[in-house]
Amino acid sequence: MGLRLMATMLVALGFATAAARAEDTPLSLDPPSPRPQLLVIGSFHMDNPGRDVVNMKADDVLAPRRQREIEQVADAIARFKPTRIAIEYPRGKQAELDRDYAAYRDGKRELGRSEDEQLGMRLAKRLSLPQLHAVELSDLMPPVDITVIDYEAGAKRLGQEAFLAAMRERVKAHVGAVDKVLREGTIGQALRWFNDPEQLRESQRGYFNYARIANGDDTPGANWLQFWYGRNLKIFGALTRIAGPGDRVLVIYGAGHAPLLRQFAEQSGYFDVVDPLPYLDTRDAEAASVAH
């Protein structure tokens, strides 16, 4: 075995051991000391998976222009110097993620279109991190009878279809605004828009309307919200399990999750939550790119 290969394996083993120690640390009522920092970047889904109620349409992020913009974003986020990167990827597929990342890191695989890869893998390789952390639920089905949280059927049953339609129209208007920002601007501008405090508040407000799809004890909208909040609490719990003392944890997730993940992190006292906007400031790089 060559000395260079042996050194690489020992470094990787050391990182893996450190990661395992963070996961295996006995639970404590107190946060780690020093308290870990948490930077949550809410993103649009760059690969257009169509998982949301209303989906925006991103153009091809592999196009040269978009690749330059993603490099600018990666440059900005790298200033945070994360020690761990968590992404919206099923926990049960961590081994698959590890294989894909190792292949990319070794030059045997190209990046796919998702933000998990375009931002997560790109940054992990640049920062010589041994792995990315999959923190999404492996099974997105709720732990209850699906009919209990079916707010669409509930709205029809309760005669509240017009209210649900109005909710959808408002979401479509919001998505249309995002489409316009991305179509006319850069990926950096779009991510700053997503992570602007007022946009985050506006996005979060929309969820509360689901609780109003109800009549007496028939509350399908609130039942669905229980599932949504529970899903994000489980993601938050996974983040606490990967964060050790003094860690700087970068989270790249769908923008709809960002307000709740930040809320849970702040209110729990487990993390010091970091403002994302300074780490999404690509304006100087964008101006220089235009000048050339």
Question: pLDDT confidence of 88, banded at 50, 70, 90?
Answer: very high
Q: Between 220-242 and 3-24, two packed helices, what is the crossing angle to 10 degrees?
A: 130
Amino acid occupying residue 175: V
C-alpha 269 chain-centroid distance: 20
Q: Give burial (CB, 10 Å; 0-12/13-18/19+) of 35.
A: middle
The Cα–Cα gap between 271 and 132 comes to 19
Closest CA to 280 of 131, 78, 116, 124: 78
Q: Tell me the per-residue pLDDT of 125-152, one tens digit each, with 9 for 90 and over.
A: 999 999 999 999 877 776 778 899 999 9
User: Cα(16)–Cα(23) distance, rounded to whole angstroms?
Assistant: 11
Pick the residue with more confidence: 138 or 50? 138
pLDDT of residue 284: 83
126 neighbors 99 (Cβ within 8 angstroms): no
Residues 6+ apart with CB under 8 A from 3: none
Question: Mean pLDDT highest for which of 15-19, 100-104, 145-149?
Answer: 100-104
The span from the CA of 178 to the CA of 36, in Å, is 32
pLDDT digits (tens, 9 = 90+) for 152-208: 999 999 999 999 999 999 989 988 888 899 899 999 999 999 999 999 998 899 999
> Phi and psi dihedrals of 249, rounded to 5?
-100, 120
pLDDT of residue 6: 44
Euclidean distance between CA atoms 15 and 129, whole angstroms: 8
pLDDT, position 22? 59
With tokens 């969820």, the residue in question is 207
184 by Cβ neighbours in 10 Å (0-12 / 13-18 / 19+) ranks as: exposed
**Segment 271-288 mean pLDDT:** 92
Average predicted confidence (pLDDT) for the chain: 89
**What pLDDT, in 10s, does the model give residues 23-43?**
667 888 999 999 999 999 999
Q: Is the model's pLDDT at 20 over the cut of 90?
A: no
| pLDDT of 57 over the 70 cut | no
Cα–Cα dist 106/103, whole Å? 5
Q: Which residues pair with 84 in a beta bridge?
A: 249
**pLDDT of 51:** 52
Region 49-75: mean pLDDT is 80
Residue 30 CA to residue 240 CA, distance in Å, equals 12
Average pLDDT over every residue of 95-124: 98
Q: What's the pLDDT at 24? A: 63
pTM of the full predicted structure? 0.88
pLDDT at 58 over 80: no
Read off φ and ψ for residue 188, nearest 5 degrees: -60, -45
Q: Measured between alpha carbons, how far is 225 from 240 in angstroms, rounded to an integer?
A: 23
Which residues are CB-neighbours of 70 under 8 A, at least 6 positions away?
Answer: 61, 118, 119, 122, 187
Q: Are 210 and 221 in contact (CB under 8 A)?
A: yes
